[in-house]
């Protein structure tokens, strides 16, 4: 497969000109956002490597029944794209995939994207000040090319996590992770087990309850659930929201309202009391059985784990064909699933709603920086960075949606856009100077890490429970920004060369 890109106003084949200015790894929201901005600039040559056969990232992979976003559509979309015609307040997974595919078409990105092409290794070459990229294609030999800058846009929800369950490999029925759902999953009239009650599970469980003969829900930790209160837009509303000014006002209002919820994550009163009361009232209003209600009452501080939105999760658990098992799945013997409580269940299908390898991204083992240091080694004690975007020892590398760049209360897309501005600023700086490479200093990264740790110390994520936001070995908060979306932009939205070491064509100009 040949990709063409633009250089000096002419079309060139990446097979014949192996050097590009920017290599982007991943074609989800972050990767496509970066590609869009580069295409509009028309200044840098670039290529996007995508290991799957289509774009969309997590919204391509997750197609289970009920898949939808829990952030309002007008906030979970690019501010620099024309407003989309969203059908309801919260977009479905299909709508989001359509939105990203339309972005590729409208922005002319298809010719820059290599599908079915997986990164095998990216290694920094200090002599040429370039990244040597080795990629493997699904339908042919691998390819190697060089890039001045490397953008990792592999996301946090791209590698499914399967818990170590005794006997799982010998289960005779179907086993499927929610991120690998497919049409051949035979749940109709079957005995189905679901492991987990996180964000994917609460969307999927009501649909499985409709189809299964019996549904067993294995719940290690009860989640906090608040009303979703979704609704479809009227035709007049949809027409009005296609006006960029109207959509922009809605986006700003939603962003401000969501940022107000960060006070809950600081455990501040009365904010945390109000959201806790809302969740408990929702539970009491939807669950009449006091015994089940007790089992569904979380025993940790609200906000520490993700707060879920659903109007049909609790009702589904009370259906006659649904069994709520308030303990983890511990072992499998043939078709019998045994919970930690000792109860056993005969199952035909097992659905793993068990999350992702989020704090230790597998792609990090494939990135080699200065002196042969792998990114996974640099992050052996937990992910660290500067400005949540760059890493010492890895020149001209930018990580999108990586260390401390996510939020537990607001839109990931806003955070990604902030990072895009930072990367574009760095590329602009290099393009306007003799600088060939930028590397943030170890001191700057260490200072930023201390800042993150200090900001995190009093949040519910480090004081309320154990969660997937926290690195399991170091105990540090490595996924979330411990502040508002607005404060992230204020802190990290503008590139500043001051904390960087530079490599130039003139040795005397280096510092």
> Residue 137 has what pLDDT?
87
Q: Token pair of 157, please?
A: 């929800």
* Per-residue confidence in pLDDT tens, the chain, 511 aa: 344 433 333 333 445 436 899 999 999 999 999 999 999 999 999 999 999 999 999 999 999 999 999 999 999 999 999 999 999 999 999 999 999 999 999 999 999 999 999 999 999 999 999 999 999 987 777 789 999 999 999 988 888 899 999 999 999 999 999 999 999 999 999 999 999 999 999 999 999 999 999 999 999 999 999 999 999 999 999 999 999 999 999 999 999 999 999 999 999 999 999 999 999 999 999 999 999 999 999 999 999 999 999 999 999 999 999 999 999 999 999 999 999 999 999 999 999 999 988 888 999 999 999 999 999 999 999 999 999 999 999 999 999 999 999 999 999 999 999 999 999 999 999 999 999 999 999 999 999 999 999 999 999 999 878 888 999 989 999 999 999 999 999 999 999 999 999 888 644 334 4
The reported pLDDT for the residue numbered 466 is: 84
Evaluate whether 321 touches 315 at the Cβ level (below 8 Å).
no
- What is the pLDDT, as a whole number, of residue 350? 98
For β-strands 397-399 and 130-137, DSSP reports them as unpaired
Contacts of 278 (CB under 8 A, 6+ apart): 226, 227
> pTM for this structure?
0.94
Q: Tell which residue, 232, 195, 234, 229, has the closest CA to residue 215.
A: 195
pLDDT at position 36 is: 98
State the Cα–Cα distance between residues 316 and 332, nearest whole angstrom.
25
């Amino acid at each position: 497969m040949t990709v063409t890109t633009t250089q000096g106003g002419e079309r060139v084949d990446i097979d014949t000109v192996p050097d590009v200015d920017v290599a982007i790894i991943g074609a989800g929201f972050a990767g496509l956002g970066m590609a869009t901005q580069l295409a509009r600039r028309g200044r840098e040559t670039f290529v996007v490597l995508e290991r799957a056969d289509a774009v969309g990232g997590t919204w391509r992979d997750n197609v289970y029944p009920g898949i939808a976003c829990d952030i309002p559509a007008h906030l979970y979309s690019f501010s620099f794209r024309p407003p989309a015609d969203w059908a309801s307040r919260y977009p479905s997974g299909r709508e989001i995939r359509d939105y990203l595919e339309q972005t590729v078409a409208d922005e002319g990105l298809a010719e820059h994207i290599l599908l079915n092409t997986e990164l095998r290794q990216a290694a920094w070459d200090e002599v040429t000040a370039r990244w040597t990229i080795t990629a493997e294609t699904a339908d042919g030999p691998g390819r190697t090319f060089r890039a001045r800058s490397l953008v990792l846009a592999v996301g946090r929800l791209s590698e499914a996590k399967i818990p170590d369950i005794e006997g799982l490999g010998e289960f005779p029925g179907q086993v499927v992770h929610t991120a690998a759902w497919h049409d051949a999953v035979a749940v109709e009239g079957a005995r189905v087990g679901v492991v987990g009650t996180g964000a994917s599970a609460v969307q999927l469980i009501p649909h499985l309850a409709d189809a299964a003969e019996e549904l067993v829900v294995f719940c290690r930790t009860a989640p906090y659930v608040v009303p979703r209160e979704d609704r479809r837009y009227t035709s007049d509303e949809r027409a009005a929201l296609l006006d960029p000014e109207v959509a922009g006002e809605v986006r700003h209002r939603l962003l401000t309202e969501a940022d107000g919820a960060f006070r809950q994550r600081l455990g501040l009163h009365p904010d945390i009391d109000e959201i806790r009361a809302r969740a408990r009232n929702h539970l009491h209003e939807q669950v009449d059985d006091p015994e089940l209600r007790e089992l569904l009452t979380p025993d940790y501080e609200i906000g520490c784990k993700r707060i879920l939105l659903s109007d049909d999760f609790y009702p589904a658990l009370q259906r006659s064909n649904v069994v709520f098992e308030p303990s983890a799945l511990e072992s499998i013997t043939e078709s019998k699933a045994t919970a930690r409580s000792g109860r056993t269940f005969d199952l035909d299908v097992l659905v793993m709603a068990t999350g992702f390898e989020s704090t230790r991204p597998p792609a990090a083992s494939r990135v080699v920086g200065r002196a042969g240091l792998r990114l996974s080694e640099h992050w052996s004690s937990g992910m660290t960075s500067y400005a949540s975007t760059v890493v010492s020892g890895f020149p001209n590398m930018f990580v999108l949606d990586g260390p401390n760049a996510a939020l537990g209360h607001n839109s990931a897309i806003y955070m990604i856009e902030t990072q895009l501005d930072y990367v574009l600023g760095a590329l602009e700086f290099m393009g306007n100077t003799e600088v060939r490479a930028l590397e943030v200093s170890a001191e700057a990264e260490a200072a930023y890490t201390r800042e993150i740790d200090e900001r995190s110390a009093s949040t519910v994520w480090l004081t309320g429970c154990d969660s997937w936001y926290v690195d399991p070995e170091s105990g540090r908060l490595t996924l979330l920004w411990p502040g508002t979306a607005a404060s992230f932009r204020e802190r990290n939205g503008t590139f500043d060369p001051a904390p960087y070491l530079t490599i130039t064509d003139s040795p005397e100009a280096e510092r």
